[in-house]
Amino acid sequence: MQPSASLQLQGSIVAIATPFRDGKVDEAAFRRLVEFQIENGTSGIVPCGTTGESATLSHEEHEQLVRLTVEIVAGRVPVIAGTGSNSTREALRLTESARADGADAALLITPYYNKPTQEGLYRHYREIAETVDLPLIVYNCPGRTGVSIAPETVARLAPLKNIVAVKDATASLDWTSEVCGTCDLTVLSGDDSATLAQIAVGARGVISVLANVAPGPMAELVAHALADRWDQARALHHRYFRLMKTLFIETSPIPVKAALEMMGLIGPELRAPLCEISEASRAKLREAMRQVGLL
């Protein structure tokens, strides 16, 4: 299958959670989540990202989720498959598989744990970009990986035709500004609470955790900001700011899956070594959700 020729990467794109039941992917609940997103204005779906517990998905489950997402979405919005790994060979295989299964693009986290140099990061992305004919998003999240790709390295990657965007989860306006100022790449925020500020310096949207539970408001916030309706965008940012932060009160996706459970959209199951949210954090999460009318 060929990815969409008219791929647009902007707006509020959800990093969608993966529901489990009895140790397996809960396909029925996942279908509900995807439809909930599309019905409420989400601009794209990212299966198998960090929020989707990609680290503990088997390769078979990973491929199953990408295929399932493509099937459910049926071309209505882009499907951006998480295909990153700390092994270039594995990331390459996952990206090739995502392309074959009809994904519109791939999101690749910087290799984690082995902490490659900037030259190693460049070669990692270059090899995948030159091997797989699929739009690729470089994902910088040093808080998760232990390594940050430098703006200068992003600038080296920008001329490669399949490198089309960067997801910036540094929450650093300096990093965002450098990339936006030196590269002709789409920049997407990777931090809900920093999205408004990052759009102000050039980002075009967000790959969002909040959108799992509040897809409509997050889509509206980004749309207002991109249209220079800053008063409306700021109002939504301030209204949802507490919930944005509370969704990271424990390791993500523990809080967002608890929130989805409270909303009756999925069951409570996480995959070890992640475990259920603490009662103290659950109470804070419930209150933050209540304040914005989600409960």
Q: Which tens digits make up the pLDDT trace of 42-99?
A: 999 999 999 999 999 999 999 999 999 999 999 999 999 999 999 999 999 999 999 9
Cis check for the bond before 273: say yes or no (omega within 30 of 0): yes
d(CA 62, CA 106): 13
199-231: per-residue pLDDT in tens?
999 999 999 999 999 999 999 999 999 999 999
* Predicted structure pTM score: 0.95
- The pairing of strands 24-25 and 20-21 is antiparallel
Q: At 81, phi and psi to the nearest 5? A: -80, 130
Q: Is 167 part of the annotated catalytic residue set?
A: yes
As a whole-number percent, the residues of the chain with pLDDT over 90 amount to 97
Q: Where are the domains of the chain?
A: 11-227
H helices present in the chain, as ranges: 27-39, 59-73, 88-100, 118-131, 142-145, 151-157, 173-182, 195-200, 215-226, 230-246, 254-262, 279-291
Q: Which of 122, 125, 139, 240 is catalytic?
A: 139
Other residues' Cβ atoms within 10 Å of the Cβ of residue 119: 10
Beta bridge partners of 207: 13
Q: Evaluate if residue 5 carries a pLDDT over 50.
A: no
The token duo for 107 is 């999101």
Q: Per CATH, which fold does 11-227 belong to?
A: TIM Barrel (3.20.20)
Q: Which of 125, 167, 240, 257 is catalytic?
A: 167
Q: Evaluate if residue 6 carries a pLDDT over 70.
A: no
Q: Is 284 part of the annotated catalytic residue set?
A: no
Contact 185, 163 (CB under 8 A): yes
